Amino acid sequence: MGRPMDHPELLRLRNSIDNIDAALIHMLAERFRCTQAVGEFKATHALPPADPAREAAQIARLRRLAEDARLDPDFAEKFLNFIVTEVIRHHEAIAKARG
């Protein structure tokens, strides 16, 4: 059969992972396009860059979704916190640019 690293099943699984990674990148890009628009709206209406109540609701929602999907909810929360931190940074930059 050759080397285990060249096994067709391993290659098939890795190809699936590569496709999922590509989809994740495209979904993140779309998400950031939406959050960019939110940042513009917030800056236009002098709203704060962060919305702790919304963030808490999103974390709770994502944890439930993770549990339903059999994904570690702590991992899901860390992932969302990472994204939210970046979004807030973008919103702060937009607000600062509008001065």
Sketch the domain layout of the chain as residue ranges.
4-98
pLDDT(2) > 90 = no
Kindly list the distances between the CA atom of residue 81 and the CA atoms of 58, 63, 97, in Å, as whole numbers in the listed order. Answer: 10, 12, 24
Distances (CA, A) of 79 to 6, 12, 69, 82, 84: 32, 27, 15, 5, 9
User: Of 4, 3, 88, which Cα lies nearest the Cα of 47?
Assistant: 88
Q: What is the mean pLDDT of the chain?
A: 95
pLDDT digits (tens, 9 = 90+) for 37-74: 999 999 999 999 999 999 999 999 999 999 999 999 99
Residue 1: band (very low, low, confident or very high) from pLDDT cuts 50, 70, 90: low
Q: Tokens standing for 4?
A: 């285990």
* CATH code linked to domain 4-98: 1.20.59.10
Q: How far apart are CA 2 and CA 57, in angstroms?
A: 51
